[in-house]
Structure 1
Amino acid sequence: MLKRLIPVYLLLCLLLTACGVPDSLKGFDSETWKNDRYACNGQRQKLTGEFEKIRRELYGKKEYVVRNLLGKPDSESLLERNQRIYYYYLEPGSQCDDRSKLSEANWVEVRINPTGKVSEVTFKNPL
């Protein structure tokens, strides 16, 4: 019976470690970023330099890596052919009062292509 459980245990361990964040991105303060939803506390603005250092490393990464690293997007657009754009605000703005509309505050756009990989990471207005 124990011999049958070992492959299941190994597969479970592999799956749990595969959904994490790559080592090259682990220096980024992900928890502070995620805890400042809509950038209303001003913490993300302090992390823009740190984010810029890892921005290019996001290219080609799967969508789940972005969500594990940056959390749920503040806003999202669905484009044709199952492409998506995730918006993450960098500074406080009108999004702190009305979250149903995009604000004029600066944000990061992460474009996810139809295969679920990051194809572009840009700033609306670089700080």
Structure 2
Amino acid sequence: MKYFFPLLLTLSLSACYSIPEIEGFDKDVWQSEMSCDTNRLAMVQLLISQQEKLLGEGQAEIQQLLGAPDEHELYNRNQKFFYYNLTPPTGCENGTFRRLSVKFDALDRVKEVMVIE
């Protein structure tokens, strides 16, 4: 009985996380292993055009949608950046290296979403 309430609390809190709905976005394609294709580069425009749905979301929701970041950075004042590669790795023929940058504030909420080179 003494384990019932903590378990119930944990289950109810984990149910509070919901993945943001981005119209036309296929998270399985985004999260698939990147080879020499440009699927992410084509899909990033959906994220940018609907970024208001991402603003204010937490790290858990972003990771459910986009998967684990390719790189992350802890910045000053407890800000954090997640970086997702948009162009294929070296060894593929492509021009500029681009990635999606997701900036989190000190409360772990998305403050900015942008493509950087």
Q: TM-score range by the shorter chain?
A: 0.7 to 0.9
Matched residue, 1:89: 85
Query: 2:18 — aligned with what?
Result: 20
SS across alignment from 1:73: coil
Deviates more, 1:85-94 or 1:47-56: 47-56
Residues 74-115 of structure 1: per-residue CA shift (max 9 Å, x gap): 111111122111111111143x79xxxxxx511110001110
Residues 61-76 of structure 1: matches in 2 within 5 Å?
61-76=57-72
In proportion to residue count, which structure has more helix? 1
> Is the Cα contact below 8 Å between 1:112 and 1:118 reproduced in 2?
yes
Q: 1:26 to 1:16 in 2, by over 3 A?
A: farther
Q: How does 1:45-84 map to 2 (within 5 A)?
A: 45-84=41-80
Which residue, out of 24, 29, 32, partners 1:35? 32
Aligned length: 113
Measured in 1, the distance between the counterparts of 2:10 and 2:83 equals: 32
1:113 and 2:111 aligned:
no
Residues 36 and 44, structure 1, Cα contact 8 Å, conserved in 2: no
Question: What's the TM-score, normalizing by structure 2?
Answer: 0.75
Q: What residue is the counterpart of 1:100 in the other structure?
A: none
Q: Note the residue ranges of structure 2 that are not aligned, 5 or more in a row.
A: none
- 1:31-52 residue CA offsets vs partner (Å, 9 max, x unmatched): 1111135x65432123223323
Is contact 1:60–1:118 with CA below 8 Å preserved after alignment? yes
Amino acid aligned to 2:26: D
Aligned-residue RMSD, C-alpha: 2.8
